[in-house]
Amino acid sequence: MIRRINMDLESVSKLKTESRNSNTINIGSMDGYEVAKLINSEDFNVAESISKVTDSIGKAIEEASDKFSKGGRLIYIGAGTSGRLGALDAIELTPTYGVPPTRAFGILAGGKKAMFEAVEGAEDSEKLAIEDLSNVGLSKNDVLISLSASGRTPYALAAIKYGERVGSLTIAVICNSESPMSKESDIAIAPLVGPEVITGSTRMKSGSAQKMILNILSTGIMIKSGYVYENLMINVQPTNEKLVSRSIGIIEQILKVTSKEAKQIFEDSHGNIAIGLIMKKLGLSYDDAQKKFIKNKRNIHRIVGIK
């Protein structure tokens, strides 16, 4: 047991995300102003590292949107910070694009409790990952997005391997290119952000990189799946006054109508921007527009296109 632990510690120490940052050796003696400047300067490396893996992100968008458009689900999975970032991205797709929670959701090592507090040992369980994915019925139709800064977390790695077995599209979002998850996944997105400001604190640069990648990835999938018209969110859920106002403004911008006319279209379409566009552009009733929308799998481009 001791020998195995030593071997694991040795392999961890070789990871870029766990190595020591020579630029921040003296951060412990700096004042708040200096700390802020130093951390910010290190964060500049994040965007640059992502610029080098946009081809991988683009491939993931193309392949994932194809499965999603055919009814597949976006399933995010991970442990700790990585898992929470995945869950957050999934949750945001409902209010922003109207994606049902059943079609995009996150799974965390340790369950829902792990969203708010650490669940010891969960990230080391391969069995738990398989059980969690079995419980949601992971299939070949789904997209599995597994996140781990190191690219070797047992829970996240086991998820990738299980996804491969059932035939899902497996995407690894990691920060170490030479890692088990990189080798096992269909598509590996692995920006090299370098050593963390605080050694091993992967919620910092690694976490920022993962968040940025997920923003690009999920937004790209939504665009390719017809959830965006021009650069506007036509499936935004008007659940509060701000979003109602935004929805009416979107209708006004797309259809080039007055705010009064846009408000009427919004009301006639029962608050559904996409349905309102179809009604106005094609001269259809609400029921007929809704049927056409559903028949075309909610893809507005197939119905009215972009001019």
Structure tokens at 148: 């781990």
Distance CA 172, CA 151 (A): 8
Residue 106 dihedral angles phi and psi, to the nearest 5°: -110, 150
Distance CA 207, CA 79 (A): 12
- Tell me the catalytic residues: 92, 123
Q: Kindly list the strands in the beta sheet with 74-78, ordered across the sheet, starting from the edge strand earlier in the chain.
A: 104-108, 74-78, 143-148, 169-174, 187-189
Helix 205-224 vs helix 32-51: crossing angle, to nearest 10: 40
Tokens 């296109």 appear where? 305
User: Which residues are 173's β-sheet partners?
Assistant: 147, 189
- Contact present, 79 and 148 (Cβ < 8 Å): yes
User: Which residues are 111's β-sheet partners?
Assistant: none
Structure tokens at 91: 């949750």
